[in-house]
Structure 1
């Protein structure tokens, strides 16, 4: 059957691909369908056709999936925050486990590897400790009868960097954070803030980033703008603090970047404190505005417990923790290791990691600032480190840099623990690390850090052959 762009088809969705799109095959052609669930019968329209696959979107749901449920959020279906909220949580875990298994088998080539069932999150709503919202001059309106508006604050429409859906309710973050979001929207409108425009690079207000300490109840409000305009910022923060006295940190990050980024080039504190704190296990961590910290605190404890289990430390090991962030895994492992060396690119995160170690009196953890693609060749301190017995990596979605993979194989640690937020790049990297039988995979454990989204973390244990 010949498939063309614009063609309409009636199909039944077979499965979910990693990334959250439904999959159906017509003859040998794989079609990826937006906002689809396995078991749904629907009419779809082809929007893009390639040699071996096509992309499509649904026109009409003809029959719901057997495990389909009513989504809780009024923004579901348009907002980019949740893709799977209309799928029962038990089935989300099954789907995510299958996605990890499929990628490791198909991309990695590991046909006989057992993938354990995904660990469920203790909370499936209000679990995120950080949310980032974007200001816009062209809010995405879902009702054609709504009046036109030139201001909005919300989340991006899936696949559109230039389209922001105004958000009034969010079940991913704490309710007080949603209240702060709505207060900010009303204040910005009333005071005629000019939203940053990504296409012509004009405007001032760029992002609102909210962080919450799960165990401490500390709250950080980070307003990201093009300039530190105190005449606009001070009245806003004063009013915000009066309305929400629970807020502990208010900072302004500024950036002139033309890209849609929320990391500031400069930071200005409007409170005495410039960091919040949260706890993982027995350790409390200092978290700056631009530092990485796992966004589901309670599930991160299970993630790190799994990483610790795969490290199999007995107390005499030298450990490398690469992409260490604020030192959360490093300090967790330092409780059972001889020495831990963390390496991280973000300076704020390294400073937080050092402060976290000092506050707990942990002396067997050191942190190095550097780019992992070349730090072991360009930084004198990194070059002089003793070789690791155990090496832990927790890279961004892009996975490991090829040069770092070469360095890891040169170090030849006895054990490698790979903590992944992208099973596709994980599978690619495992294939390289295990080539020529240099390493053997001993465990693959998916961990659902992000209920209702298409994302899944995975902890993989490896031992040198």
Structure 2
């Protein structure tokens, strides 16, 4: 700690030098005795003072009170509701950091996770995928609260570290037309009979349709339905109603344009329902799909499996390049929607450009076994796009097969029919959690016979601490 002590001697004893950012966008500093201090609002290379509000033996949590030497990467936040003040919106964590520096921090998080959790180092670092820093959030879940004491209705994200809804008038990360709708939405709910029983509005924007899903705990009156229709006509939105679980979501009025997004590079249009999982950031999603397929290098004589295929976001583009595609997903409902999307796109393909033979299967991918893997048949390439929990069971099944094949100590026997089964030559793994990617990468590299040839971050959620990434694994 001598360097730190030498520097510290130049400044007052209560000043702290911020060295890095953690996954929650907190500044990380050390006291002279080596104790770690996490500081909300502080940035790397700054000298700050902070107020400790939580103490443990090895670390402290503190809030920024003053910046004495400011980081050159500190910028003015683009939203009036961002900050450390009481009532600040908790939807973003990094607006005070230049967006280029945000990308560098997230790339470092990815590399650190791969090494510290998986003991894996990518042979090549991919250039980060970046896009618009504002107006990018085409999906959002907005909380609604009628606050009787304030005599107002709030619509927006929660306050920082709070269950209360932030008093938001605008939101620059939402599309501009949606941000401009926040105050009219507050007025709409305030005028409704059901103002106390509508806890949530879910936003889903397609390329040409903006859908709003109103969660209502009691049946809506005819007057309220009329108010919703008038709002839809004035603001050009499509209302959906949700009385209970996701399966109860229905259009307020049938007809009108269909919610969808396009992947123009592949000639694909993806219809979806407002509660289906789609990527929050469509600008990044288009680049993400293009890069994933470019890295996979699918040939027209190859069979490809798309694990955790969802609505077919990767499956249908893969079907424009491969000989045969299998999409596997945990939800029966999503599998049915994938088939519908495949059939509608197949029908719209120009002459001579039919999609490859593609099948969709519903299966619990968190309970994969070597036997199930063998039963799915040989595939030349894999695309893996799991939720935050990662693809541990899938990676472990692949590792177990490899360990059995080479006769490793403690390995089980090869399953029946596995003698002719071969693992995929290449895997592209798209991740929304660097920790579970690192864990699965450890299995693939150290037990399943792969090299991690490339990895890079994807800035799907600018101004948040969320790290999306992509890694490529090549059969060694």
**TM-score normalised to structure 2 length:** 0.82
Contact persistence 1:97–1:116 (CA under 8 A): no
Contact persistence 1:443–1:460 (CA under 8 A): yes
- Cα distance, 1:384 vs. partner? 4.8
- Cα distance, 1:285 vs. partner? 0.5
Aligned CA distance change for structure 1 residues 254 and 53 (closer, same or farther; 3 Å): farther
In 2, Cα distance between the equivalents of 1:68 and 1:41? 13
Aligned CA distance change for structure 1 residues 96 and 388 (closer, same or farther; 3 Å): same
In 2, Cα distance between the equivalents of 1:345 and 1:233? 37
Q: Counterpart of 2:215?
A: 224
Contact persistence 1:286–1:356 (CA under 8 A): yes
Q: Does 1:49 align with 2:58?
A: no
Aligned CA distance change for structure 1 residues 9 and 397 (closer, same or farther; 3 Å): farther
Give deviations 1:97-147, integer Å, cap 9, x for gaps: 2221222122221257443342221x21111211210113559xxxxxxx7
Contact persistence 1:322–1:343 (CA under 8 A): yes
- Cα distance, 1:24 vs. partner? 1.2
- 3-state DSSP of counterpart to 2:79: coil
Contact persistence 2:110–2:456 (CA under 8 A): no
In 2, Cα distance between the equivalents of 1:101 and 1:173? 30
Please give the root-mean-square deviation of Cα atoms over the aligned residues, in Å. 2.7
Contact persistence 1:334–1:340 (CA under 8 A): yes
Give deviations 1:66-105, integer Å, cap 9, x for gaps: 2211111111112122222222222222222222122212
- 3-state DSSP of counterpart to 1:58: strand
In 1, Cα distance between the equivalents of 2:448 and 2:215? 48
Q: Counterpart of 2:158?
A: 156
In 2, Cα distance between the equivalents of 1:226 and 1:435? 51
- Cα distance, 1:167 vs. partner? 1.9
**TM-score normalised to structure 1 length:** 0.84
- 3-state DSSP of counterpart to 1:62: strand
- 3-state DSSP of counterpart to 1:238: helix
In 2, Cα distance between the equivalents of 1:319 and 1:39? 46
Q: Does 1:270 align with 2:276?
A: no
Give deviations 1:11-65, integer Å, cap 9, x for gaps: 1211112232211122433222222221233221223333443322222333332
Q: Counterpart of 1:23?
A: 28
Q: Does 1:421 align with 2:432?
A: yes
Contact persistence 1:16–1:23 (CA under 8 A): yes
Aligned CA distance change for structure 1 residues 366 and 398 (closer, same or farther; 3 Å): same
- Cα distance, 1:280 vs. partner? 1.6
Q: Counterpart of 1:4?
A: none
Q: Does 1:373 align with 2:366?
A: yes
Alignment match of 2:382 (pick from 379, 382, 391): 391
Return 5+ residue gaps in structure 1 as ranges: 2-7, 140-146, 196-203, 256-262
- 3-state DSSP of counterpart to 1:442: strand
Which runs of structure 2 are paired with 1:271-420 in the superposition (5 Å)? Answer: 271-273=253-255, 275-281=258-264, 282-361=267-346, 362=355, 364-374=357-367, 384-400=375-391, 402-409=392-399, 410=401, 412-420=423-431
- 3-state DSSP of counterpart to 1:56: strand
- Cα distance, 1:276 vs. partner? 0.2
In 1, Cα distance between the equivalents of 2:448 and 2:331? 34
Question: How many positions carry a matched residue from both structures?
Answer: 428
Q: Does 1:132 align with 2:114?
A: no
Aligned CA distance change for structure 1 residues 164 and 385 (closer, same or farther; 3 Å): same
Return 5+ residue gaps in structure 2 as ranges: 2-12, 347-354, 402-421
- 3-state DSSP of counterpart to 2:250: strand
Q: Counterpart of 1:58?
A: 64
